[in-house]
Structure 1
Amino acid sequence: MSLALDCDRKWWHGGVIYQIYPLTFADGNGDGVGDLRGIIQRLDYLNDGDPDKTADLGVDAIWLSPVNQSPMVDNGYDISDYRDICPIFGTLAEFKELLEQCHIRGIRVIMDMVLNHTSNQHPWFIESSASRDNPKSDWYLWQDPGYKDGLPNNWLSYFGGSGWTFNEDRQQYYFHVFNENQPDLNWRNPEVKAAIYDMLRYWLDMGVDGFRLDASSVYSKDQYYRDNPVKFGATDKNAYYNQDHLYDKDLPDNHGIIREIRALMDEYEDRVLIGETFIDSRLYDSNSFYGVNNDELHLPFAFEFPFSPWYPGYLQREIEKKERITPAGAWPTYFLDNHDLPRHLSRWIECALCTNPTEIAKAAATLLLTVRGTPVLYYGQEIGMVDNQDIPPELQRDQAVVASPTGELPPNRDGSRTPMQWDASANAGFSFGKEVTPWLPVHANYQEVNVETTLKDDASILNFYRKLLYVRAQSEALRFGSWRTLIHYPYEHMAYMRETASEQVLILINFAYEKPLELDKPITKGGWTVLASNKWESGKTLALPENLQSFEIDVLRKA
């Protein structure tokens, strides 16, 4: 059984974070591309600042995918100026306005920080690549031609092929974990560290409330550039997974870098540090990023939970694992979707019994918003958005994948990055009803699946999310309480309790058709008040049901 969080509560412990992909969230200037002005104009949907109203979602923070200056080869994850805003999104003045408007509404702002690499158009790299003896010659990972096909070693790019690209001016190779236009910084160089840390202070001094660190487990590389071992018998289509990445990721030195960033963050009040622990890191690796003394990431992102199949036993196994290994005083975090993954409804609707996407979405929402930890929502999941799988090649924007030299990657990520569906007008209201060509094509279902339409339907996914978010905000147990399961190994339904000293909340989620409610641990049968349910009216007091109806969801408080 996990312990309730009884002390040192920070806003992110009980808060809900909402990820915005700025290119496709809202277009404020009518050019077809999402921007900061569009986000500002949609803030009241996220949180209008009035705790007595429930028309908004009531989220506590937004996480913005990168808005820094960028040539946009990897849609902003290739930064050419850390201290400025890319004109495609607006201006630095508009970013400051966004900060101000968010803070007025009680919304924190978390920036995505890409610190493993820069764009090859960043002035640092331009200078570094010009010669071997300039002041920034050692700011990136340069090596002479080596032993095999001229390459320095066997390190690979996650985007396919070798991780080494040859530079004619230096007559050397530079390393890149990702695309060749994203050269990796040399984190062993103290000048690089100083420049990065000074830049982070620049944004913190401006009032940014935290950072999400992109690919935060690959900063440090082996100083001897040793070959990675090849996994015995490995035959993955993406050759990256056929290596044991002993020397180009997850090095012990990496934790020292994260600790330094955390120490910098701790100089400021109430700032959160989130990290993507990258690609194929195992859960215990992600767990190690809390640090020995909880002095690294506040919230490490691990991918086992979103990659779980739609099966209660498997999902509960991942929750129990995280409950066991999260250090005392640390805090879990959960998400289902993000900008790199297919949306969860697109993944889970393929399961054998998953024929009703609305009920699956409500069950998934309940799970995400009632487990112990900080939930992260991805824009549009609250209305039931699914992947757009019909984007023709000429309209695809994920150039880092489209240009993969070996074609080793799965289909590109554009399908989960399509415009937010606001209403049934042109382009789903993405450009506020204007007839423009949006950054990516809007999903064909936008006339039925959109904010305006689903707000009017009491039984919609959006209204169920709004109800759960409101209930969560009012419940100490759901925000800070302990978690314990009432079923040892669930086959068809989950049942678990969230508890503090003064409140007990029971969650029942049926994953399939009508089933008897079977519990391994006895609890009081009667006197439960409905907080949220897709079968019972809120406020109703009832006994535990003998049978769970098809896809029944109940969030009940002990009266």
Structure 2
Amino acid sequence: MTLKTKTWWERGIIYQIYPLTFADSNGDGVGDLQGIIQRLDYLNDGNPNSDTSLGIDAIWLSPINKSPMFDNGYDVSDYREICPTFGTLEDFDELIREAHQRGIKVILDLVVNHTSDRHDWFVESRSSRDNPKADWYLWQEGYKDNPPNNWLSYFGGSGWTFCPERGQYYFHTFNANQPDLNWRNPDVREEVFDIIRFWLDRGVDGFRLDASSAYSKDKYFRDNPLKFASSDKNDYNNYHHLYEKNLPENHEIVREIRQVLDEYDDRLLVGETFIDNTLYDSIAFYGANNDELHLPFTFEFAFSPWYPGHLQREIERKELLTPQGAQPVYFWDNHDIPRHLSRWVDCSLCVDSMAIAMAAATLLLTVRGTPVLYYGQEIGMVDYDDIPPELSRDKAIAPSPSGEVPERRDGARTPMQWDDSPQAGFSFGKNPQPWLPVHPNYKEVNVAAQLRDPRSLLNFYRRLVALRRDSEALLWGRLRTLIHYPYEHLAYLRETDDEMVLVVINFSYEKPLILDIPIERQGWKLLISARDRRVNSYREETGTTIDIPEKLDAFEILVLQKV
């Protein structure tokens, strides 16, 4: 089949790598760029018929810029340098070359809502009120020995910190060592745009904008209003964040960043838009003329309960709100939230969690949109919730004023589980103490074991990826749901003028789904089925044929093609 031309992110699958815990090449216990290079063939070796490659199309790297690493890279001290933790600019250039040779695009995390307080810009800005960068950050006078207004930090407590050198307060959306840039200053804008060009000139294929809904701030620094009758333990949730998040000027900033990317061919702009936004607010970041983000990350789908009615509602909302000519984007996991198999633990107690993982994989890779996978998702990695406090690395989130400590994010960031050797092969057979402890289940849950097992979750993902790549209907066909408000099952069609694909997922763990739809198994071709873990690929790689089943057990899936 010859597929019509589309952008690579409309055709492709993005794979998020958390560099600190993906692969360690030098045995120091911390992931690095050379480790990623050595694992590229696992992600995509350039052979569409590979027996070992996952087959993804792009990697998104969490921050690798120079940083004191207080917030694990989300506190940048030099935007044009690689953090020595990960390697050098030469290592990065090699990563770009090696990735591109395999057909893998490279997306960088761009953290420009704020910098580290150790960035030279902030060191100069805080030194006096009349230096050249005095207005590069958000400085204000206090009010009667109190902060300038009631704006709070997303991580807890006041968003203002007093600086004795200037005798003023500076604002930080996140932690005190992450001062916010002043995007109203044209010099700040031009410097950020030059940084973007610096990386695009090195061959970067796109950026994910961190906290992209928080760039603009009210120029009058007005107080945020309290919510009526709200008494959330987290005081941040008791306010309407009208004046320090998602102002109209924010769209102007994102639009200008997009214009810089449009100076180059085929570059992608993704944005984290969920902070204090509704789905409608986030969708607006496509822009009035599809001239802002190509893919705005919204979290409603990922945060939805594992229930077909909720999931279908979020899919249909995206279908209705996504502008014509734009592409939705879907994900289950990322570095800031618990992994989906851990979030849906109640369901996991009812049935084999791998059945849930296969159902989730099917849904993610067959709805209309760009799928984003989080490292280890494809082998069923779960959160490690029992990391000893002394080994915790997530130190950016501060306790609330009441002393309550928020849930750390370390559990979803543990080392990739490559094999059953010491430290799960994360350090290529060496045995240092890794940056975070390896999940204890690595002996059973790892890449090597699953590659050997044709019934594994990893091989199921590989078949779904291959199916999606070769199906025009699954790449950009229309989506039509078949159940008005599903209670126990999801069923939908993906259609183009030339192809129709039917996807059915049984969410009931108490009773099977009887397939009495009037297809009578005539005129339909089985693409993928999971029957007692006997996975049949549409390419019939096993050399056997499985008939279309008459029923689906708990969390079983069925993908058919009209012939």
Under TM normalisation by the shorter chain, which class is it? over 0.9
**Is the alpha carbon distance of 1:212 and 1:315 closer, same or farther for their aligned partners in structure 2, counting shifts above 3 Å?**
same
CA distances 1:355-410 after superposition (whole Å, capped 9, x unpaired) = 32110000000010000000000000000000001111110000102566654563
Distance 1:524 1:233 in 2: 57
Matched AA of 2:406: P
SS at match of 1:306: helix
Which of 168, 171, 174 is the matching residue for 2:170? 174
Q: Is the CA contact (8 Å cut-off) linking 1:473 and 1:479 kept in structure 2?
A: yes
Instruction: Please say if 1:548 is aligned against 2:544.
Output: no
Alignment of 1:180-259 (within 5 A): 180-259=176-255
Matched AA of 1:552: E
Distance 2:94 2:350 in 1: 43
* % same residue: 67
Distance 1:510 1:440 in 2: 37
Q: Is the CA contact (8 Å cut-off) linking 1:159 and 1:409 kept in structure 2?
A: no
Matched AA of 1:537: N
Instruction: Please say if 1:537 is aligned against 2:536.
Output: yes
Alignment of 1:346-357 (within 5 A): 346-351=342-347, 354-357=350-353
Matched AA of 1:160: G
SS at match of 1:350: helix
SS at match of 2:27: coil
Counterpart in the other structure of 2:89: 92
Distance 1:544 1:129 in 2: 68
Q: Quote how far apart the aligned CAs of 1:76 are.
A: 0.1
**Is the alpha carbon distance of 1:353 and 1:396 closer, same or farther for their aligned partners in structure 2, counting shifts above 3 Å?**
closer
SS at match of 2:28: coil
Runs of 5+ unmatched residues, structure 1? 1-5
Distance 1:427 1:154 in 2: 46
**Is the alpha carbon distance of 1:63 and 1:355 closer, same or farther for their aligned partners in structure 2, counting shifts above 3 Å?**
same
Instruction: Please say if 1:343 is aligned against 2:334.
Output: no
Instruction: Please say if 1:46 is aligned against 2:43.
Output: yes
Q: Is the CA contact (8 Å cut-off) linking 1:160 and 1:409 kept in structure 2?
A: no
Q: Is the CA contact (8 Å cut-off) linking 2:154 and 2:174 kept in structure 1?
A: yes
Counterpart in the other structure of 2:369: 373
Q: Quote how far apart the aligned CAs of 1:161 are.
A: 0.3
- Please identify, of 395-404 and 405-414, the stretch whose mean Cα deviation from structure 2 is larger: 405-414
- Please identify, of 192-201 and 508-517, the stretch whose mean Cα deviation from structure 2 is larger: 508-517
Which of 329, 335, 351 is the matching residue for 1:333? 329
Runs of 5+ unmatched residues, structure 2? none
Alignment of 1:136-151 (within 5 A): 136-147=133-144, 150-151=146-147
Matched AA of 1:87: P
SS at match of 1:556: strand
Could you tell me the TM-score, scaled by structure 2's length?
A: 0.95
Alignment of 1:47-446 (within 5 A): 47-147=44-144, 150-351=146-347, 354-401=350-397, 407-408=403-404, 410-446=406-442
**Is the alpha carbon distance of 1:348 and 1:375 closer, same or farther for their aligned partners in structure 2, counting shifts above 3 Å?**
same
Counterpart in the other structure of 1:501: 497
Distance 1:407 1:452 in 2: 43
Q: How many residue pairs are counted as aligned between the two chains?
A: 552
Q: Quote how far apart the aligned CAs of 1:9 are.
A: 1.8
Q: Is the CA contact (8 Å cut-off) linking 1:160 and 1:408 kept in structure 2?
A: no
- Please identify, of 544-553 and 449-458, the stretch whose mean Cα deviation from structure 2 is larger: 544-553
Q: Quote how far apart the aligned CAs of 1:53 are.
A: 1.8
SS at match of 2:355: helix
Q: Is the CA contact (8 Å cut-off) linking 1:74 and 1:400 kept in structure 2?
A: yes
- Please identify, of 382-391 and 549-558, the stretch whose mean Cα deviation from structure 2 is larger: 549-558
CA distances 1:511-545 after superposition (whole Å, capped 9, x unpaired) = 123334479x9768522211111127345888875
**Is the alpha carbon distance of 1:324 and 1:134 closer, same or farther for their aligned partners in structure 2, counting shifts above 3 Å?**
same
SS at match of 1:445: helix
Which of 1, 12, 22 is the matching residue for 1:15? 12
Q: Quote how far apart the aligned CAs of 1:546 are.
A: 4.9
Distance 2:27 2:403 in 1: 35
Give the CA RMSD over aligned residues: 1.8
Distance 1:45 1:471 in 2: 18
Q: Is the CA contact (8 Å cut-off) linking 1:527 and 1:542 kept in structure 2?
A: no
**Is the alpha carbon distance of 1:335 and 1:215 closer, same or farther for their aligned partners in structure 2, counting shifts above 3 Å?**
same
Q: Quote how far apart the aligned CAs of 1:14 are.
A: 1.3
Counterpart in the other structure of 1:487: 483
Distance 2:268 2:310 in 1: 30
**Is the alpha carbon distance of 1:51 and 1:545 closer, same or farther for their aligned partners in structure 2, counting shifts above 3 Å?**
closer
SS at match of 2:37: helix
Runs of 4 or more off by more than 6 Å in structure 1? Answer: 521-524, 540-544
- Please identify, of 340-349 and 396-405, the stretch whose mean Cα deviation from structure 2 is larger: 396-405
